[in-house]
Chain A
């Protein structure tokens, strides 16, 4: 019988590699009996989803912009790289 600790680790690994048939059965059995690990299983999968939402949210946030300093610095680097290219 798996402990919650073992189950949590296997559930995390199931996101990264295929589990053996035997491990999958053991997890299913544990989840049948353990409400806490069921919540964990749901939440760990939700994590993937919400992190992607956070990424999208940042991408779409128009108030986030390059600072003027950064723009100037990058322009300069680009300009000197272009010049050296032509020599």
Chain B
């Protein structure tokens, strides 16, 4: 069985790492996720060549990624309220006292070429990494995995309202950052 796993590591390790990195956005975490996946693969004898090894391993990896994201959201909050306050996003950064935009969203020009597309994604990547940790993890869980809100909330031990506020903050910050970076490139 160990021989299989080493073959799998050689053949699929890089792909699994990229898959994890795309979602966790941290190389150490991504490495851990791959390791956990390989360890789980040894324990679990259910792979009989039914589907491709890569599909099977990726399935395990997805669960490991969600576990890690879940841990990050649940760890240490004294209360949701303390957490929300620790994140310094405030809507006063975006709107005036009358509720109007301080800076109105602009028209974005679409990336024209492959190079522009790369630049756009690179701006997006930088903006994602600027988000406060919990907002980033929740955003990735929700908008990439598309886990349903109610299920996510119970699991993460946050109220739906808090989830909506956090996602709203994440989206507002991302949009603004992206507009800033993209429009002034």
Q: Name the A residues within 8 Å of B21 (CB-CB).
A: 58, 64
Picked from B95, B100, B140, B167, the residue with its CB within 8 Å of the CB of A12 is: B167
Q: Chain A: how many interface residues by the 8 Å CB criterion? A: 50
Among the stretches B33-41, B67-75, B80-88, the one at the interface with A is: B33-41
Mask: chain A, 38-76; 1 = CB below 8 Å from B; 0 = not: 011001101110111111111111101111001101110
Given contacts A16-B142, A48-B143, A51-B143, contact A82 B17 (CB under 8 A): no
Q: Name the A residues within 8 Å of B121 (CB-CB).
A: 50, 53-54, 57
Q: Chain B: how many interface residues by the 8 Å CB criterion? A: 55
Complex: chain A residue closest to B25, CB-CB: A58
Most chain A CB within 10 A, of B23, B43, B171, is at B171
| Minimum CB–CB distance for B179 against chain A, Å | 8
Complex: chain A residue closest to B15, CB-CB: A59
Given contacts A51-B143, A78-B6, contact A4 B99 (CB under 8 A): yes
Are A47's CB and B99's CB within 8 A? Answer: no
Picked from A50, A54, A62, A66, the residue with its CB within 8 Å of the CB of B13 is: A66
Are A47's CB and B174's CB within 8 A? Answer: yes
Given contacts A43-B105, A71-B13, contact A82 B31 (CB under 8 A): no
Are B34's CB and A74's CB within 8 A? Answer: yes
Are B22's CB and A58's CB within 8 A? Answer: yes
Given contacts A47-B175, A66-B31, contact A71 B9 (CB under 8 A): yes
Determine whether B180 belongs to the interface, using a CB cutoff of 8 Å to chain A. no
Task: Give complex CA distance A77, B38 in Å.
Answer: 9
Are A3's CB and B95's CB within 8 A? Answer: yes
Determine whether A87 belongs to the interface, using a CB cutoff of 8 Å to chain B. no
Given contacts A3-B98, A12-B164, A16-B163, contact A47 B35 (CB under 8 A): no
Picked from B13, B100, B171, the residue with its CB within 8 Å of the CB of A74 is: B13
Given contacts A3-B95, A5-B94, contact A61 B167 (CB under 8 A): no
Are A75's CB and B6's CB within 8 A? Answer: yes
Are B91's CB and A5's CB within 8 A? Answer: yes
Determine whether B62 belongs to the interface, using a CB cutoff of 8 Å to chain A. no
Q: Name the A residues within 8 Å of B168 (CB-CB).
A: 8-9, 12-13
Q: What are 16 A-B pairs with beta-carbon distances under 8 A?
A: A5-B99, A6-B99, A9-B91, A13-B164, A17-B160, A36-B101, A39-B104, A39-B106, A47-B175, A55-B144, A60-B18, A61-B18, A71-B9, A78-B6, A82-B1, A82-B2
Enumerate the 9 nearest inter-chain pairs by beta-carbon distance, A residue then B residue, closest first: A3-B99, A58-B22, A82-B2, A5-B99, A36-B104, A39-B105, A12-B168, A5-B95, A55-B22
